[in-house]
Structure 1
Amino acid sequence: LAARSKGKEAFYIPGGKREAGESDEEALIREIKEELSIDLVPESIRYLHTFKAQAHGRPEGTMVKMTCYQADYVGEIQIDSEIDELCWIRYGDHEKCSPVVVLILDWLLAQGLIE
């Protein structure tokens, strides 16, 4: 699942930054609740991989680091006011994704998690 923020061109993976004192898992639960209005099942959260790539739309050399997880959720996905569009992306959707999402898609394919 990928999101495109209002006024942006590229899709990204929902999530965000940790607040002071938060663990990765706490930040993930909070950010997903804020962006998608769903509750992650804490005991289902599983670390996948950490990715680093050029930050989309930022000066050359500005890098983004994304730590990715997978989890089960409860509730119905509803986007917040900052998100313009949600879509299920496939491996062939590189052209509409940020550089870090392209890395994530490549990794998921190599792991046999997507086709």
Structure 2
Amino acid sequence: MVAWVQVSGGRMLAVRSRGRDLLYLPGGKREPGEDDWSALSREVREELGLDLDRASFRPLGVVRAPAHDQPDFAHVRMACFTAAHRGTMAPSGEVDEYRYVGRSERRLLAPAAQAALDLAADNGLLC
């Protein structure tokens, strides 16, 4: 899986997919033949209507966490990236909502998104 870590005002962007109770990061699974850039730029365009800037695309790190709403043994491995963007953000596709969350709101996030929040904090991106 790939995820976009977008921080503004010391808070991290998160999305709520249709029918989900917790927030996730924009991103998703690679399709056959896709590299990380292709998969993430496609997912962000589908979910939020934004175009990522390839020149600013940077790896942030990889997180591993229990998969939300899955059996106890299931885990998610998520490669996290930062990138600037163009366009007007609007939820689309399977995304119903987006919002920026701070460290005090980590309970709203799925486990992998919590791990990404910690990764962003460890890299000095959050207040």
Do the two structures share a fold, i.e. TM-score over 0.5?
yes
RMSD: 0.9
> Are positions 1:21 and 2:49 aligned together?
no
Q: Which one has a larger percent strand, Structure 1 or Structure 2?
A: 2
Deviations 1:9-43 (A, max 9, x none): 01000001111111011101111111111111111
> Are positions 1:82 and 2:94 aligned together?
yes
Structure 1 gaps of 5+ residues are none
Taking CA–CA contacts closer than 8 Å with sequence separation of 6 or more, which of the two structures ends up with the larger relative contact order? 2
- In structure 1, give the amino acid aligned to 2:69: G
Give the structure-2-normalised TM-score.
Answer: 0.87
- In structure 2, give the amino acid aligned to 1:23: D
Structure-to-structure mapping, 1:28-67, within 5 angstroms = 28-67=40-79
User: Quick one: percent identity of the two aligned structures?
Assistant: 38
- In structure 2, give the amino acid aligned to 1:20: P
4+ residue runs over 6 A deviation: none
Contact 2:46/2:93 (CA < 8 Å) preserved in 1? Answer: no
Give the structure 1 partner of residue 6 of structure 2. Answer: none
Q: Distance in 1 between matches of 2:103 and 2:61?
A: 17
Give the structure-1-normalised TM-score.
Answer: 0.95
- In structure 2, give the amino acid aligned to 1:86: Y
Q: Distance in 2 between matches of 1:104 and 1:81?
A: 23
Match of 1:73 among 77, 85, 89: 85
Structure 2 gaps of 5+ residues are 1-12
